[in-house]
């Protein structure tokens, strides 16, 4: 008579075949491989940052940046610092409007500042997005709902950016076609990286299926959030206004930085330079876009007619006001938010 197999955790473990020595060794080596990949990524990011900074320095030529820095107008610099606060206010308003759960103002604003520090840990602002997802989850939202809300914020941000560009074109009565925004080296590397990523995704079946399967559900939920917000125009309006404040604050900070060094460009060129420079700089895997964003924005300003010295100084001043001044406060707030259980 056959004895039926026992059921339960112990029998399940007993029925599992023991791992081979090769499997055990692979499991033990996995953390070391991950650490090596992280180290390699950090070295690559540092190398790209150095390359980008060398491009920035090359823009200066034989000019004396210290003289221009000493002649900077303190009033415009102060206004640049004030404008750099506006994106945090806009981001706070957008998150509160799109959140599936009620949020309090102070911790929500603190999370946006803390995200500045976390953005240094990876490219393209992923650290801040992940922190917002964690914050919404800790406030009671489910993980899918939190992810969908943050993705919906990104979708609205893209739409608002496009509307700002259209408004800039209409206000100027012309287009920015033909403007050469970036040096040949940066353009070539950026196009090559985008093309390789697209080809790798499209031509490798396993990678294509993985990307589609990972994006289908979050994108569908994000669209569902937007459809739900369409039935609540007040919330949608607050979120769109907050996103417009984010975009407008960054534009104002860059424009005021230029004014501080005696330069100015029309709104259309300023918007194109800022959006293109930020996008191109984010393609390279440098933490927080170190060096690459500054180089791309400075090169874009030079391309639209700004002298190299004020272009570089304005680019660096803009990044200091909108990023670097907030790193230490962001770190402190991240620690405090974690201790308080908000993230």
Query: What is the per-residue pLDDT across 173-227, written as a single tens digit (0 to 9) for each?
Result: 554 444 444 444 444 555 555 556 556 556 666 666 665 666 666 666 667 777 7
* Maximum pairwise Cα distance, the chain: 97
Which residue ranges in the chain fall short of pLDDT 70? 1-69, 122-124, 171-222, 281-287
For 135, half-sphere exposure in the C-beta direction (CA atoms, 13 angstrom radius) is 29
Residue 23 has a pLDDT of: 46
The whole-angstrom separation of Cα 251 and Cα 276 is: 12
Taking a C-beta distance cutoff of 8 angstroms, is the pair 285, 48 a contact? yes
Residue 147 has a pLDDT of: 85
Q: What is the DSSP letter of 100?
A: S
The whole-angstrom separation of Cα 321 and Cα 79 is: 10
The whole-angstrom separation of Cα 246 and Cα 92 is: 10
Residue 179 has a pLDDT of: 46
The whole-angstrom separation of Cα 239 and Cα 93 is: 6
């Amino acid at each position: 008579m056959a004895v039926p197999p026992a059921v339960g955790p112990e029998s399940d473990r007993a029925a599992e075949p023991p791992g081979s020595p090769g499997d055990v060794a692979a499991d033990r080596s996995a953390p070391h491989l991950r650490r090596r990949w992280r180290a390699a990524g950090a070295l690559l990011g540092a190398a790209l940052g150095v390359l980008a900074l060398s491009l920035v320095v090359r823009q200066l030529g034989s000019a004396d940046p210290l003289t221009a820095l000493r002649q900077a107008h303190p009033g415009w610099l102060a206004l640049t610092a004030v404008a750099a606060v506006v994106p945090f206010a806009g981001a706070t308003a957008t998150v509160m409007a799109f959140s599936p759960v009620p949020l309090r103002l102070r911790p929500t604003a603190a999370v946006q500042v803390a995200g500045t520090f976390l953005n240094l840990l990876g490219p393209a602002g992923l650290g801040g997005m992940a922190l917002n997802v964690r914050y919404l989850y800790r406030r009671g939202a489910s993980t899918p709902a939190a992810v969908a809300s943050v993705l919906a914020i990104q979708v609205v941000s893209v739409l608002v950016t496009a509307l700002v560009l259209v408004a800039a074109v209409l206000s100027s009565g012309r287009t920015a076609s033909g403007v050469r925004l970036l040096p040949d080296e940066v353009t070539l590397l950026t196009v090559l990286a985008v093309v390789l990523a697209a080809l790798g995704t499209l031509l490798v079946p396993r990678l294509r299926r993985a990307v589609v399967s990972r994006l289908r559900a979050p994108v569908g939920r994000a669209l569902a959030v937007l459809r739900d917000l369409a039935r609540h125009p007040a919330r949608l309006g607050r979120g769109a206004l907050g996103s417009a404040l984010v975009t407008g604050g960054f534009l104002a900070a860059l424009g005021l930085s230029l004014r501080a060094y005696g330069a100015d460009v029309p709104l259309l060129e300023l918007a194109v330079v800022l959006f293109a420079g930020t996008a191109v700089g984010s393609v390279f895997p440098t933490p927080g876009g170190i060096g690459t964003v500054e180089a791309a924005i400075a090169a874009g300003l030079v391309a639209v007619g700004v002298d190299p010295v004020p272009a570089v100084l304005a680019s660096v001043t803009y990044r200091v006001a909108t990023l670097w001044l907030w790193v230490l406060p962001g770190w402190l707030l991240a620690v405090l938010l974690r201790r308080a259980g908000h993230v």
